[in-house]
Amino acid sequence: MPTDNVSVTPWTAERVRKLRGQRTQQEFGALIRVPKNTVWRWEAGYSTPDAERGRRLSRFARKERFLHDWKLAGSATLLGDLEEGSKHLARHLKPVLARMKNLQE
């Protein structure tokens, strides 16, 4: 199989769903040459695309300009895990909630 230097994106269930957009699973599967059941399994999180299908998805995404210039937007911060994220949110929300409580009194 020829390789064409396509960087392969880690394809999560959410990314596959977003790339599919308004297309049916059957329509989307036909575009990337997989059965609709395969698309369903990816989107449901039961499996992930293998290397070849990942390259097909990446080529299709590039053609659709799907991942072009994706950036983290807003004031979000990427955190390592759920517990760490909860602590981070608690630290930042406690002062806000205290101020709101004082305003209501």
Are 49 and 84 in the same domain?
A: no
Residue 6 covered by a domain = no
The pLDDT tens digits of the residues spanning 43-95 come to: 999 999 999 999 999 999 888 887 655 554 555 555 566 677 778 778 888 88
The range of the structural domain enclosing residue 26 comes to: 13-63
* Claim: this prediction has a pTM higher than 0.95: no
Residue 56 covered by a domain = yes
Residue 41 covered by a domain = yes
Are 79 and 47 in the same domain?
A: no
The pLDDT tens digits of the residues spanning 16-47 come to: 998 998 999 999 999 999 999 999 999 999 99
CA 5 vs CA 2, 33, 55, 61, 94: distances in Å: 10, 20, 9, 14, 48
Whole-angstrom Cα distance, residue 20 to residue 74?
25
Total count of domains within the chain: 2
Question: Is 50 exceeded by the pLDDT of residue 1?
Answer: no
State which of 63, 81, 96 marks the end of a domain: 63
Residue 102 covered by a domain = yes
